[in-house]
Structure 1
Amino acid sequence: MRIAFLGTPDFAVACLAELVASGHEIVAVYSQPPAPRGRGQDLKPSPVHAFAEGLGLPVRTPVSMKTPEEIEAFQALDLDAAVVVAFGQILVKAVLDAPREGCFNLHASLLPRWRGAAPIQRAIMAGDAVTGVQVMRMSEGLDEGPILMSEQVRIDALDTAGSLHDKLAAVGSRILPVALGAIERGGARETPQSEEGVTYAKKIKSAEARIDWTRPAAEIDCHIRGLSPFPGAWFEAPSEKGPVRVKALLSRVEDAAGEPGTVLDDSLLIACGDGAVRLLKAQREGKGAQDAGDFIRGFPLKAGTVLA
């Protein structure tokens, strides 16, 4: 089929690669415009943009898909279908209606749970045991269209948003070409979403990243893992030069008690409102991420230290 691919982050790269490998004609790739990245804040293309250019595919980076000019350009592509994977823009009806077969989205949750921008992080933060990947027909509503294909993925006790992202991307890139094959043959079955169990995965805000040690350990553990590696749940630790911000990147719950925020041993066991968490990976401000052993050799947090 003649396909346009709309995607931006790493999550979408594997999907684009599999669509190319499956023999579809990728007429155009759409991605968010180049943005400041890295220490120098130089303008750099998105992961999808860079990958597509490496394959010699035509790339378009409109600031908005809602302008008459961009809508007309999209309609002129004469598409059989469009595939959207974490593109980052809302598509208007004129764009959704342009391809003959329609527009299809790969979404990283089991809809209708976690519609919206941050389904991977929110699933872990909520303590979900299972999530998944689904291919859906797009409609004007936010992630409200019928489901064509679905596969569940277990969330393990040590999964972070980063590790779960990689699992879901692998599954998504595998089922997406299968779904498109069914669409091409006219054999795709569409199942409307349930009207019950709807939740929304709001965009992660920096203000919610700080750890509140008065919360139960199970909640703090989910908070830490759901925000790892980015933006990173954080706390402040005392030092001779003043408070130091530390990102907690991996943890596990342990059966221990103490005043919330108090370090209980010399190996990063920290008391919470109910129970305790042991940090397994952390990152001091201005330093790289480290496993717990390496972290405490360079920045020991002794038993009795109180964290904020």
Structure 2
Amino acid sequence: MCYTTGKNMKVIFMGTPDFSVRTLEKIIEAGHEVLAVMTQPDKPKGRGKAVAFPPVKEKALEHNIPVYQPIKVREEEYVNIIRELNPDVIVTVAFGQILPESILNIPKYGCINVHASLLPKYRGAAPIQWAVIDGEKESGVTTMYMAKGIDTGDMILKAVTPIEKDETYGSLHDKLAVLGADLLVETLVALENGTAIREEQDDSLSNYVVPIDKTLGHLDFNKSAIELERLIRGLNPVPSAYTFLDNKKLKVWKAEVVPCKEGKEGEIVQVTKDSIIIKTKEDGLALKEIQLEGKKRMEVTDFLRGYNITVGTVL
């Protein structure tokens, strides 16, 4: 896809995780000048606790773009750096810090955020996961002018995508990363052409979603099977849904809702060649892909070849 603007913009890009990388790449591909990248500090990762670069930093270094990693971007040192760089626009995508007014007022075209939901719904830190968990039929991305509040600024453009029946957090994340990157470049064109709209958000339609905590993944079989199935997809691949089997953590990667009236909540009521069916408050949850503590992730068909599951066991 080609994008044409009157001139290339001078951009400061602020972002941190994988979701942000695609947008940075698209800005570069579109011919804009990325003056600098600001991202979160390096962090220890994995069992060895080796220091790992944020994905955005890795991409910036590939393109020889200067990288700054402020603990607090509002500190005077970084505000002065931004002021001296004199960007036309600041683009933020999952940066992880709130920008103060002292920064918001610097760029000619303002500070533009790419948010992974159809605002004003799903403001906050985990919009992709919650859209799946809540059973939404569609999701998307919104570009917006940044304001003092969290995800409260005027909206510019939106792009919508359906949430498929088997959609996971991971698959929707990847779709929205691509969608958001294209939408941001389209937004930059509109900004320079003077055609960018400012649509005020209706606060009465908003809701702030809470960050995802690992404990959210503990499956409560007193809930309905459909709720649990959505939770499993919404936490796949991280942090994952789980229960316990024989005092070992059992991660659940894929499940289906099946009719089931017999048994008590959490009880294994049937084992077939490719599923382990658990009674829930409403219907049954058929486990299809699982991972027992200390083992690799596998289809239930393969798991049952080496593990004896007893009907009547309560998870």
TM-score after normalising by structure 1: 0.95
Q: Which residue in the other structure is 1:74 paired with?
A: 82
Q: Which residue in the other structure is 1:156 paired with?
A: 164
Deviations 1:170-203 (A, max 9, x none): 1111211111111122211121112322111111
Q: Which residue in the other structure is 1:247 paired with?
A: 251
Could you tell me how far apart the structure 2 residues matched to 1:287 and 1:4 are?
44
Could you tell me how far apart the structure 1 residues matched to 2:211 and 2:112 are?
22
Could you tell me how far apart the structure 2 residues matched to 1:212 and 1:10 are?
31
* Contact 1:160-1:250 within 8 A present in 2 as well: no
Could you tell me how far apart the structure 2 residues matched to 1:88 and 1:43 are?
19
Provide the identity percentage.
37
Could you tell me how far apart the structure 2 residues matched to 1:209 and 1:14 are?
28
SS at match of 2:311: coil
Per-residue deviation, 1:300: 4.3
Could you tell me how far apart the structure 1 residues matched to 2:310 and 2:28 are?
53
Could you tell me how far apart the structure 2 residues matched to 1:260 and 1:138 are?
46
Per-residue deviation, 1:39: 2.1
Deviations 1:135-182 (A, max 9, x none): 111101110111111011111121111111011111111211111111
Name the CA shift for 1:260/1:134 in 2 (closer, same or farther; >3 Å). same
Per-residue deviation, 1:303: 2.7
Q: 1:59-138 counterparts in 2 under 5 A? A: 59-138=67-146
Are 1:9 and 2:17 an aligned pair?
yes
Could you tell me how far apart the structure 2 residues matched to 1:154 and 1:12 are?
21
Structure 1 letter corresponding to 2:259: D
Structure 1 letter corresponding to 2:304: I
Q: Which residue in the other structure is 2:231 paired with?
A: 223
Could you tell me how far apart the structure 2 residues matched to 1:299 and 1:12 are?
41
Q: Which residue in the other structure is 1:265 paired with?
A: 270
Per-residue deviation, 1:41: 1.1
* Alignment gaps of 5+ in structure 2: 1-8
Bigger drift between 207-216 and 21-30 goes to: 207-216
Name the CA shift for 1:299/1:33 in 2 (closer, same or farther; >3 Å). farther
Per-residue deviation, 1:289: 2.5
Are 1:212 and 2:220 an aligned pair?
yes
Are 1:34 and 2:39 an aligned pair?
no
Q: CA RMSD in A?
A: 1.3
Aligned residues: 303
* Alignment gaps of 5+ in structure 1: none
Are 1:276 and 2:281 an aligned pair?
no
* Contact 1:263-1:304 within 8 A present in 2 as well: yes
Per-residue deviation, 1:207: 2.6
Structure 2 letter corresponding to 1:275: D
Per-residue deviation, 1:62: 0.9
Could you tell me how far apart the structure 2 residues matched to 1:230 and 1:134 are?
24
Could you tell me how far apart the structure 2 residues matched to 1:236 and 1:33 are?
36
Could you tell me how far apart the structure 2 residues matched to 1:290 and 1:284 are?
9
